[in-house]
């Protein structure tokens, strides 16, 4: 019988999971979370089959290709909880990160699949989660966020400013 520590070591060594069809910029971070970019509603049954319990959608209603109502309906039909937290990358609002942290901290939402259009906003939110909830050092969190999809200096600065405002610098 594997101990919990041995099982965690095996999971850490496992090759990254392939993106389900209809998903761009997919990163399976660990057993409880994945981050991605644009996700077609047809991908939700595969995400549910992978064991996800929720979809946290960071896209805004008006952005090109975002069909929030269709995504909500498809996620619900697949048995997934749908959490919409619109994150405007051009005018980021700290309250979005407050809502994101609450959503990812809720065990009922785990495993959670987090996405936006390119994984840029998902990466910025993930950076904050790693520091605020997981206690990671800032640079380690930034490095992982960049691997997840964070490419915007503006969003990285926004995330760092959020952390500074919360005494995490």
Quick check: is 6 in a domain?
Answer: no
Number of domains the chain is built from: 1
Q: Domain with 107 in it: what CATH number?
A: 3.90.190.10
Quick check: is 7 in a domain?
Answer: no
d(CA 160, CA 27): 22
d(CA 98, CA 86): 12
Domain region containing 125: 19-165
- For 138, residues 6+ apart whose C-beta sits below 8 A from its C-beta are 131, 160, 163, 168, 169
Q: Which residue has the tokens 């906003």?
A: 121
Determine which helix (DSSP H) or strand (DSSP E) holds 81, and give its type and residue range. Answer: strand 81-84
Determine which helix (DSSP H) or strand (DSSP E) holds 9, and give its type and residue range. Answer: helix 4-13
8 Å CB contact between 61 and 88: no
d(CA 38, CA 132): 26
Quick check: is 113 in a domain?
Answer: yes
Q: Digits of tens for pLDDT over the chain (169 positions)?
A: 333 333 333 334 344 568 888 999 999 999 999 999 999 999 999 999 999 999 999 999 999 989 999 999 999 999 999 999 999 999 999 999 999 999 999 999 999 999 999 999 999 999 999 999 999 999 999 999 999 999 999 999 999 999 999 998 7
Quick check: is 10 in a domain?
Answer: no
8 Å CB contact between 26 and 10: no
Quick check: is 122 in a domain?
Answer: yes
pTM given for the model:
0.88
Strand, helix or coil for residue 38: coil
Quick check: is 73 in a domain?
Answer: yes
HSE-CB at 143 with a 13 A cutoff on CA atoms is 5
Tokens representing 17 are 């999971």
Determine which helix (DSSP H) or strand (DSSP E) holds 83, and give its type and residue range. Answer: strand 81-84
């Amino acid at each position: 019988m594997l101990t919990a520590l041995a099982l965690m070591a095996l999971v850490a060594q496992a090759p990254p999971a392939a993106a389900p069809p209809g998903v761009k910029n997919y990163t399976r971070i660990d057993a409880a979370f994945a981050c991605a970019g644009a996700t077609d509603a047809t991908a939700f049954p595969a995400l549910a089959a992978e064991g996800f319990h929720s979809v946290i959608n960071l896209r805004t209603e008006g952005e090109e290709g975002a069909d929030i109502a269709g995504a909500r309906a498809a996620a619900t039909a697949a048995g997934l909880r749908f959490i919409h937290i619109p994150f405007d990358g051009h005018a980021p609002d700290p309250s979005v990160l407050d809502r994101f942290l609450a959503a990812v901290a809720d065990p009922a939402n785990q495993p959670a699949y987090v996405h936006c259009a390119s994984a840029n906003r998902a990466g910025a939110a993930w950076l904050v989660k790693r520091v605020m909830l997981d206690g990671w050092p800032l640079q380690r969190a930034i490095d992982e966020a960049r691997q997840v999809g964070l490419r915007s200096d503006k969003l990285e600065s926004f995330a760092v400013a959020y952390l500074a405002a919360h005494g995490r610098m």
